[in-house]
């Protein structure tokens, strides 16, 4: 089962375009957002986010994003 806090962090990064903006949106630190996303990626065994400016989904991340909608 997917962890809701990890999924919220992933979704926020994609919606906000960066870990910093996602952190502000969720009232967390960028490090906390990063840890949650990394934990989700580790659990799934997939890279979900391209860490570019702005952040974008990988192909696997796009599938997860569609699932979360």
Entry pTM? 0.94
Residue 50: both structure tokens together: 């391209």
Q: What is the pLDDT of residue 25?
A: 97
Q: Would you mind telling me the total number of residues written for the chain in this entry?
A: 69
Phi (first) and psi of residue 4, to 5 degrees: -65, -35
CA triple 46-52-56, angle to 5 deg: 55
pLDDT (tens place) for every residue of the chain, 69 residues total: 899 999 999 999 999 999 999 999 999 999 999 999 999 999 999 999 999 999 999 999 999 999 998
């Amino acid at each position: 089962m997917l962890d809701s806090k990890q999924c919220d962090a992933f979704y926020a990064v994609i919606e906000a375009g960066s870990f910093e903006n996602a952190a502000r949106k969720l009232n967390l630190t960028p490090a906390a957002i990063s840890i949650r996303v990394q934990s989700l990626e580790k659990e799934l065994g997939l890279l979900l986010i391209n860490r570019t400016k702005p952040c974008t989904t990988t192909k696997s991340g796009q599938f997860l994003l569609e699932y979360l909608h």
